[in-house]
Structure 1
Amino acid sequence: MKEEIYPIAIEDKMKDAYLNYSLSVIIGRALPDVRDGLKPVHRRILYAARELGLLHNRPHKKSARLVGEVLGKFHPHGDSAVYDAMVRMAQDFNQRYQLIDGHGNFGSIDGDSAAAMRYTETKLTEIAEALLDNIDEETVNFIDNFDGSLQEPEVLPSKIPNLLVNGSSGIAVGMSTSIPPHNLGEVIDALIHLLDYPNARLETIIKNHLPGPDFPTGAAIVGNDGIKSAYQNGKGKITLRAKSKVEKEGRHQNLIITEIPYQVNKAKLIEEIADLVNKGKISAVSDLRDESDKKGIRIVIELKSKADPQLTLNRLYKYTNLQTNFRINLLALNDKKPVVMGLLEILNHFLDFRKQVIKNHTQYNLNKSENRYHILAGLKRAIDELDIVIKVIRNSQSKKEAREKLMLELDISKQQAQSILEMQLQRLVGMEFEKLEAEREDLAEKIKYYKNILNNEDELNNVLRDELKEIKKSFDDQRRTEIIADDSKAEITKDDLIKEKNAVLSLSYRGIIKRNEEFKNLRAAKNDYLVAAVEGSSLDQLLFFSDQGEVYNLQVHDIEEHHGLATGDNLSKYLQIPIKENIISLNILDKEQNKNQNQYYTFVTHSGLVKRSNIDEYRTNYSHIRAIKLDNDSLVNVEKTNAIEDIIVVSKNGYLIRFSGDTFSTTGRNTLGSRAINLSKNDHVIYFNIFDKNDFLISISEDGRANKIKLNNFRSQKRNGKGIRIFSNSKYKLAGAVTAARDDKILIAAKNGEINEIVVADIPETSPGGNMYQVTKELDFEKIVAVKKIIEVE
């Protein structure tokens, strides 16, 4: 031969070669067909098993024999690849409905490998035979095998919607598929509904028939969003969580894991748990053992006394494969092209495929019946003209001559003439003649029935519907995987890892914060006083409002718990607050949103503005947010209020205004307020709180003078008034004011840092506009700069 060399760019050659390789992997190995849900290797294993006679009601044969049959006739690849595929089809923890019935060691959920193929035995399961049913009756196309010496099915007839029922996974070139298994009965219910209502909505299918995947290992799916996304778009992510229960054993409690997520190795899972215990990440576990047997999984996690089982379980969900994510990618071959499909597309493709298979099978039966009917018509003609038949046969010198004479004399076809020549004499008996007539009548009915199926879409649908119902009746079982609809439970948050218990938090004048379970254990350090205390849950949110309009956020459980005589930690340990900012209010926000309905945070600024916003506006995951819009202003105080109770506002020059909360509107978080008090030019607000008729207003001047006035003596006014005079001498300037009961104590702080306390009962009581009395005469105070009510604990 003459040598011919063609120049070609290496990039073009590589591109062409890689494209051919990619197509080979995509079509020939890695992706399942949307019709029968099988990859080529699985299809060839099942077909070869049928050819070997390995049916479910016959004895098993050596796996090596089946592997050899597949390799030699249909699948020219490695024997380990074929055997591994066969093994997975036999594993009850991998396949929702096993297609291979294996004898011997076929591996375990602990990751143990199967025994060598020479030691194990195999045959088809009954449900696998439903995939192969009628395959020899022209239901599907056959193609040449790898060397053209044999024929193999392009696809199996598959009465089972196997793509969804058993799922599939595989990695091709540049794409992958991950289809979860489903419950057979639920898939068939969805198919029947879609058959009856072709325009059915996906939401209806999910709600009434096919709620989600159903894994062979059971466990639970947490949340619906991932399922809906996958069924709608072909892609999604679901959260799988192990099932467990709590058993008491003496004074201890044990966590019992009974089902684990799909494709999780049980032995490695136990190693993960043990590793966490050894590292101290989970301290509540005292013992761990695997008591699993043939009845099912049983992992025993023995807990220490007083350990919280749910808290421990949440930590296990967070840090081990007791909770995993399963990514769904509904990618399969449709007409030899890889396509990502939604649930409705997959269901419709299967229905269309089965309709075509039923048509092919019906046409096969029709042809067979018509041929037989034609033969019977010839036999009837021969019996009716028996004398002519006998005469022709006697006078013929050969079979060929007899056949041709019969065709001429009786006006019949070649096939009919041949059947007459082959007819046994016993068929001439009267009873045999009656059987022929009965068979002709039966065939006539069958032919009519087959033609009705082929020409009537409704009849075709009825056949398919009955077939689906029969499959469900034969193979349906109970759902194994529970679906927990609440998507909020899918993610294990930090709160889920914290034990919920009562929490009391206090803040001292010098910025020391302490967390405890009870009020009685709160105390301040020497030369310090508690000025704020709140109570809630360890899962609640703690808000610190600053005078610059910022609100800082901490989870209560982030504050270290102190007991006994411990006084707590400096707030700077938890919050980085600028030097020029001061915390003016401590509040606790319930963990449950909207629990505190009709509750608000009310703000008053130095310039005399008042604003109210809904509490839930301050629920945030950020370390701090803007609490209020300030325009060259600062905050005086923040209080939790409702929308109608009276508010009191006190100014530095000694004016108090009391007005109702319903005189101004609730606004958003980042807004300015409304005018609370009409201030003179050199005045500003120093205090605000909620009106309580049983409290006193305690006013302290900068030079240590004070008075107390029953709050009930101040009448309610319209908002934005000048207010009522607290004391008579206009020269006094207030350092601060507080509302307090007669037995309370007041902290006063001087500019030089010295602090001390006075008892409310020791302060002279006056009426509005009365005198101020010296209460710190004996103390060597400089100018007073702060006044706070002291929180006392019995």
Structure 2
Amino acid sequence: MAKKATKKKAAPARPQLGDNVEILSAGEVIESPITDTLETNYMPYAMSVIVSRALPEIDGFKPAHRKLLYTMYGMGLLKGARTKSANIVGSTMHLNPHGDAAIYDTMVRMGRSNESLLVPFVDSKGNFGKAYSRDMAYAAARYTEAKLEPVCEELFRDIDKDTVDFVPNYDGTTTEPTMLPVTFPTILANNTLGIAVGMASNICSFNLVELCNATIALMKDDQADLAQLMPAPDFVGGGSILYDAAEMQNVLEKGRGSIRVRAQWAYDKENNCIDITRIPPTTTVEAIMDKITELVKLGKIREISDMRDETDLNGLKLTIDLKRGQDPDKLMARLFKATPLEDSFACNFNVLIGGQPRVLGVRQILLEWIAFRSECVRRRTYYDLQGKQKRLHLLRGLEAILLDIDKAIEIVRNTAEESEVVPNLMIGFGIDEVQAEYVAEIKLRHLNREYILKRTEEIEELEKAIADLEDVLKRPARIRKIIMNELGDVAKKYGSPRKTEILYDLPDDSAADEQNEIPDYPVTVFFTREGYFKKITPQSLRMSGEQKLKDGDEVVYTKETTNSAELLFFTNHAQVYKSRASEFADTKASVLGDYVASKLEMEEGEVPLFMTVTVDYRGYMLFFYQNGKCAKIPLASYMTKQNRRKLLKAYSDKEKLAAMLHIEEETELAVFTSGGTGGPRLILVGSALIPEKATRDTAGINMVTLKKNARIAKVRPAAGLELKDPHRYRVRTLPAAGALLRQEDTTEQMSL
């Protein structure tokens, strides 16, 4: 008998969930308004980044820095010996669970040997890298050691006296401070960069002595002239600040502005080289060398024979060897203009105040810090007051007992049970339970005259101290005086001279104009249909024979100009590439020349269609389309202040292009059409009739009324055309259809 077939039960899709588990709405697409997604997902993330990660608070620290420093303080690294960085990183993860790499990177930046901070907080030992070097990487945490710098004593002073609030850490196993009770404005003592969501912060550092003195002056007069007290920032890497009073005033009052910083250098006459020892804080040695190398390769800098990085244990040193007879001052002026040897620090003083991001000037930040520090001092004073009041309360009870020691001894001796000693003392002397507990714990050896006299004197001292502390709490002026004394001590103990010099007399940059430094001499330029470019000097051209070209290629553009002229190459991707004749090497007629698409690193499949030369961007570009339209664009529309090398949307690509033409002044144009009924036509029209457009990629205006299947074939200046009756083809209004080309004029048209 055949066995009955049994139906196999399908295995559950997710066996780990169990057989009877069903996920509601599994596999369904749920539509949700984008506003709900932003509110429930994006906004919490954005606020978390802003409030808990990227922006510093008024104590000068982001959460990552604060957690690390507090962990090191708890490990006893303020007074003790250094320990392995890996040990510090591991301990910090109790407060900061974002991974060891992020924690160690934070500690490296705060290290003295990294030279990122003007007032470093970590005493580092080992390779911590250098902030001014992109390639000088720091060693792993297992190889380096660290402890806190002595200045960190000012960060944690009286932190155990309830000066700041503490909150539980991420898993509730310990607590951490919400801010540090810093005794000086650390928020402005070091550079701070933070990139949040929709906002950022970039705070520059100021000299510690100037900062403390300015804060003291501001506490005396909130309208004090900060420009006299702290005239400019002070960067750890030094350099020279090109002082701009208007920009500096914006930084001091509004928290925004741009500060120009340039490198410091010296000329070694004996070795004919330039030694650069200080660079701006926004760049690195490698970035500077890369830019100088690029300029040398392009031929813009010809005075340099060699360049090398000689940075060692003594500090940064970038050496540039000069060719014989070169002027180092002129070379440095050009390098300042063309390389990161001169750069700008963009200030954006965005700080969290009460959990809200605010962009404040230096004055407002210092006033906020004064308010924060005043609250810390007030809380510390109140904590000390409470401690002394408790001590006085205990001594008052002891005083009552000591006046009649025999009675106290008798009460204790006659008490049957130990638990009744405290209540009996309370009844016998009229003291409270706390005082009675304190008295009951006194050792028998202390019941002597000396002990009694000392405690009596302590009561008098406590009463005076309590009165003084109460006076401090009542008088804000005394709190300000305490803060000013602390600031004076910090400036005296940890202050140092400025590292960044201030140049009030700005150097004349006219001599450093890059264009004036380009060797200028007559040249003739050639551009071929296949996209090859040649630049030949008159002497070489006179000695040359026929131009060498690829098979089937021909020269379509020739012009006599100078080596400093600008070249514009319009491509089939509706883009224009800008260059200078000086960027192409002088050549001869016997070579093919430079292939422009490769030289200018054009996109794949992109080739130049048209080239024009200009020195002042005078005239117009005319774009003729096969559908009869024409766009007239001022050549000045392609001029940029930033000297960009490529511009998008150089012309409209919505219609097929028929011709391009550059005219330096208004002139008469000859427009040929073909393909229509009746044969080819010709229009002679003044370019002044074509209105100019401001937008480069405009579609243009209707210029030619085309017959069916007709199109614009060619366009050229009318000068040089030999026509029997030119008035036949001239038009006074647009659009126009033109006139049929006569037989006697066809020969001329065909020869174009």
1:88 to 79, 84, 109: 109
Q: What is the rounded CA distance, in whole Å, between the counterparts of 1:318 and 1:181 in structure 2?
A: 25
Give the aligned partner of residue 678 of structure 1.
none
2:260 to 229, 235, 239: 239
The SS at the match of 1:258 is strand
Task: Determine whether 1:213 maps to 2:233.
Answer: yes
Sort the Cα spacing of 1:213 and 1:410 in 2 relative to 1 into closer, same or farther, 3 A: same
Could you give the per-residue CA deviations for residues 543-577 of structure 1, whole angstroms, max 9, x where no partner exists?
xxxxxxxxxxxxxxx9xxxxxxxxxxxxx997899
Mapped contact 1:253–1:303 kept (Cα < 8 A): yes
1:123 to 140, 147, 172: 147
Give the aligned partner of residue 444 of structure 2.
425
How far has the Cα of 1:499 moved from its partner?
A: 7.2
How far has the Cα of 1:49 moved from its partner?
A: 0.8
Identity over aligned residues, as a percent? 34
**Which range moves more in the overlay, 358-367 or 463-472?**
463-472
The SS at the match of 2:280 is coil
Give the aligned partner of residue 416 of structure 1.
435
Task: Determine whether 1:178 maps to 2:202.
Answer: yes
The SS at the match of 2:325 is coil
Give the aligned partner of residue 53 of structure 1.
76
Sort the Cα spacing of 1:367 and 1:3 in 2 relative to 1 into closer, same or farther, 3 A: farther
Give the aligned partner of residue 489 of structure 2.
470
Mapped contact 2:287–2:340 kept (Cα < 8 A): no
Q: What is the rounded CA distance, in whole Å, between the counterparts of 1:265 and 1:364 in structure 2?
A: 48
How far has the Cα of 1:281 moved from its partner?
A: 2.1
Could you give the per-residue CA deviations for residues 713-750 of structure 1, whole angstroms, max 9, x where no partner exists?
xxxxxxxxxxxxxxxxxxxxxxxxxxxxxxxxxxxxxx
The SS at the match of 1:132 is coil
Q: Which amino acid aligns with 1:373?
A: L
The SS at the match of 1:90 is coil
Give the 5 Å matches for 1:289-368: 289-368=308-387
Q: What is the rounded CA distance, in whole Å, between the counterparts of 2:51 and 2:199 in structure 1?
A: 12
1:166 to 173, 190, 204: 190
Task: Determine whether 1:227 maps to 2:248.
Answer: yes
Task: Determine whether 1:141 maps to 2:160.
Answer: no
How far has the Cα of 1:17 moved from its partner?
A: 1.0
Q: What is the rounded CA distance, in whole Å, between the counterparts of 2:117 and 2:430 in structure 1?
A: 60
Q: So what's the TM-score if we normalise by structure 2?
A: 0.63
How far has the Cα of 1:271 moved from its partner?
A: 3.6
Give the aligned partner of residue 24 of structure 1.
48
How far has the Cα of 1:425 moved from its partner?
A: 2.2
Give the aligned partner of residue 126 of structure 2.
104
Q: What is the rounded CA distance, in whole Å, between the counterparts of 1:27 and 1:305 in structure 2?
A: 58
Q: What is the rounded CA distance, in whole Å, between the counterparts of 2:293 and 2:50 in structure 1?
A: 41
Q: What is the rounded CA distance, in whole Å, between the counterparts of 2:387 and 2:350 in structure 1?
A: 39
**Which range moves more in the overlay, 293-302 or 191-200?**
293-302
Give the 5 Å matches for 1:289-688: 289-486=308-505, 494-495=512-513, 498=516
Q: Which amino acid aligns with 1:460?
A: I
Q: Which amino acid aligns with 2:186?
A: N
Mapped contact 2:71–2:92 kept (Cα < 8 A): yes
Q: What is the rounded CA distance, in whole Å, between the counterparts of 1:205 and 1:80 in structure 2?
A: 40
How far has the Cα of 1:19 moved from its partner?
A: 0.4
How far has the Cα of 1:305 moved from its partner?
A: 2.2
Q: What is the rounded CA distance, in whole Å, between the counterparts of 2:366 and 2:158 in structure 1?
A: 22
- Show structure 1 runs of 4+ deviating over 6 A: 1-7, 572-578
Q: Which amino acid aligns with 2:357?
A: P
Mapped contact 1:37–1:167 kept (Cα < 8 A): no
2:91 to 57, 69, 74: 69
Q: What is the Cα-based RMSD across aligned positions, in Å? A: 2.8
Could you give the per-residue CA deviations for residues 655-712 of structure 1, whole angstroms, max 9, x where no partner exists?
xxxxxxxxxxxxxxxxxxxxxxxxxxxxxxxxxxxxxxxxxxxxxxxxxxxxxxxxxx
Q: What is the rounded CA distance, in whole Å, between the counterparts of 2:618 and 2:385 in structure 1?
A: 88
Q: Which amino acid aligns with 1:158?
A: V
The SS at the match of 1:302 is strand
Give the aligned partner of residue 649 of structure 1.
none
Could you give the per-residue CA deviations for residues 422-475 of structure 1, whole angstroms, max 9, x where no partner exists?
112232222222222232222222111111110011111111111111111111
Q: What is the rounded CA distance, in whole Å, between the counterparts of 2:75 and 2:200 in structure 1?
A: 33
Q: What is the rounded CA distance, in whole Å, between the counterparts of 1:107 and 1:492 in structure 2?
A: 38
Q: What is the rounded CA distance, in whole Å, between the counterparts of 1:488 and 1:15 in structure 2?
A: 53
How far has the Cα of 1:485 moved from its partner?
A: 2.5
Mapped contact 2:85–2:146 kept (Cα < 8 A): yes
Mapped contact 2:333–2:512 kept (Cα < 8 A): no
Could you give the per-residue CA deviations for residues 391-445 of structure 1, whole angstroms, max 9, x where no partner exists?
1110113333111111111111211111111112232222222222232222222
Could you give the per-residue CA deviations for residues 371-398 of structure 1, whole angstroms, max 9, x where no partner exists?
1111112222211110111011101133
Q: In structure 2, list runs of 5 or more residues that go unmatched.
A: 1-20, 521-581, 583-612, 620-663, 665-752
Q: What is the rounded CA distance, in whole Å, between the counterparts of 2:159 and 2:207 in structure 1?
A: 25
Could you give the per-residue CA deviations for residues 17-48 of structure 1, whole angstroms, max 9, x where no partner exists?
100000111011101002x1100010000111
Q: Which amino acid aligns with 2:105?
A: D
How far has the Cα of 1:143 moved from its partner?
A: 1.1
The SS at the match of 2:324 is coil
Could you give the per-residue CA deviations for residues 38-86 of structure 1, whole angstroms, max 9, x where no partner exists?
000100001111111111x311111111111111x21121221111111
Sort the Cα spacing of 1:441 and 1:299 in 2 relative to 1 into closer, same or farther, 3 A: same
How far has the Cα of 1:242 moved from its partner?
A: 0.2
Q: What is the rounded CA distance, in whole Å, between the counterparts of 1:372 and 1:130 in structure 2?
A: 28
Could you give the per-residue CA deviations for residues 209-249 of structure 1, whole angstroms, max 9, x where no partner exists?
11121100000111323222222222111111001122211
Q: What is the rounded CA distance, in whole Å, between the counterparts of 1:31 and 1:399 in structure 2?
A: 59
Q: What is the rounded CA distance, in whole Å, between the counterparts of 1:50 and 1:400 in structure 2?
A: 43
The SS at the match of 2:477 is helix
Q: What is the rounded CA distance, in whole Å, between the counterparts of 1:576 and 1:215 in structure 2?
A: 42
Give the aligned partner of residue 41 of structure 1.
64
More strand by share: 1
Q: What is the rounded CA distance, in whole Å, between the counterparts of 1:2 and 1:229 in structure 2?
A: 63
Q: What is the rounded CA distance, in whole Å, between the counterparts of 1:464 and 1:575 in structure 2?
A: 62
Q: What is the rounded CA distance, in whole Å, between the counterparts of 1:418 and 1:360 in structure 2?
A: 29
Mapped contact 1:311–1:496 kept (Cα < 8 A): no
Could you give the per-residue CA deviations for residues 158-194 of structure 1, whole angstroms, max 9, x where no partner exists?
1121110013101000001000111111111111001
Could you give the per-residue CA deviations for residues 122-173 of structure 1, whole angstroms, max 9, x where no partner exists?
1111112311111111000111211222211111111121110013101000
Sort the Cα spacing of 1:399 and 1:211 in 2 relative to 1 into closer, same or farther, 3 A: farther
Q: What is the rounded CA distance, in whole Å, between the counterparts of 2:617 and 2:170 in structure 1?
A: 72
2:307 to 288, 292, 302: 288
Could you give the per-residue CA deviations for residues 311-360 of structure 1, whole angstroms, max 9, x where no partner exists?
10012112221111111000010110111111111000000000000000
Task: Determine whether 1:257 maps to 2:280.
Answer: no
How far has the Cα of 1:13 moved from its partner?
A: 2.5
The SS at the match of 2:97 is coil
Mapped contact 1:315–1:497 kept (Cα < 8 A): no
1:114 to 134, 138, 152: 138
The size of the alignment, in residue pairs, is: 501
Q: In structure 1, list runs of 5 or more residues that go unmatched.
A: 504-557, 559-571, 579-623, 625-794
Q: What is the rounded CA distance, in whole Å, between the counterparts of 1:53 and 1:417 in structure 2?
A: 38
Q: What is the rounded CA distance, in whole Å, between the counterparts of 2:257 and 2:366 in structure 1?
A: 18
Q: Which amino acid aligns with 1:147?
A: D
Q: So what's the TM-score if we normalise by structure 1?
A: 0.60
Give the 5 Å matches for 1:735-774: none
